[in-house]
Amino acid sequence: MIIGGFQKLSLVDFPGKVASIVFTKGCVFRCAYCHNPELVLIKDHTGIDEEEVWGYLKRRKSFLDGVCVTGGEPTLHKDLPHFLERIKGLGLSVKLDTNGVTPAMLRALVEKKLVDYFAMDLKHRWSRYGEVAAVSPGKEYLLDRCRESFEVIRDSGIPYEWRTTVFPGVHAEDDFFEMAGYMKPGEKYYLQEISYKKNLAPLDRSKSLDVPRLAKLLSAYYPKVDIAVR
């Protein structure tokens, strides 16, 4: 694993659990709003020493409930199953955040029972997914893989949530009605406010979408819509 960041404690990232967060490096998408741009490109293999992470987790395993593995995109790392096995070996639960680009990896993790909770991005309506994910020309097939992952997670029997970062100027209100329409009864769908502190590409701040209003509008039709607190 190439680890770009480690947060020792979070009370909000893994629902109902006290967790540490491991941030992996590397992503094939180029979402302009990405607020972890330093995790997107793997310019070199420098990062956090994995052994430091293991040292902390071993020392604090009785205090923690789980570990959230996020990115970048964790499923791009071939040794992710081994990494999650080690977490489970400490008696900790695993939450995996994914953009869904690697359905084969997700299937393998489900089969090996290495994940206790999934959170997957839903970046846009399927027909316009590339407007947010911004893959390089010739790699549009990656977007179909996200759609496949949506079903892999849905069929996994493991708790999950979907979440969309609201991207003013790219998303319009009707896009959220379309995306909420993908939800099955009981599925959790979170809207996340964009963060302008640090982004992968310059953003047009003159555009806006009122996220609380949007969530309220949607919740009249889809009761499990909420605003992400993280």
Spatial contact of 115 and 158, defined as CB atoms under 8 Å apart? yes
Neighbouring residues of 214: CB distance < 8 A, sequence distance ≥ 6: 166, 173, 176, 191
Give phi and psi for 201, each to the nearest 5. Answer: -140, 160
CA–CA distance, 19 with 8 (Å, rounded to integer) = 8
CB nearer ligand SF4, residue 83 or residue 222 = 83
The bridge status of strand 160-165 relative to strand 117-121 is parallel
CB nearer ligand SF4, residue 129 or residue 176 = 129
x/- track of binding to ligand SF4 for residues 12-31 (CB under 6 A):
---------------x-xxx
Nearest approach in angstroms of CB 97 to ligand SF4 is 8
99 binds ligand SF4 (CB under 6 A): yes
Q: Is residue 72 reached through a cis peptide bond, with omega within 30 degrees of 0 on the bond before it?
A: yes
Nearest approach in angstroms of CB 142 to ligand SF4 is 11
CA–CA distance, 176 with 166 (Å, rounded to integer) = 9
Beta bridge partners of 227: 191
Instruction: Map the footprint of ligand SF4 across residues 114-173, applying CB under 6 A.
Output: none
Instruction: Map the footprint of ligand SF4 across residues 23-82, applying CB under 6 A.
Output: 27, 29-31, 34, 36, 40, 71-73
CB nearer ligand SF4, residue 14 or residue 29 = 29
CB nearer ligand SF4, residue 64 or residue 164 = 164
Q: How many residues bind ligand SF4 (CB under 6 A)?
A: 11
Tell me the two tokens of residue 210: 């009122």
Write out the residues near ligand SF4 by the rule CB under 6 A. 27, 29-31, 34, 36, 40, 71-73, 99
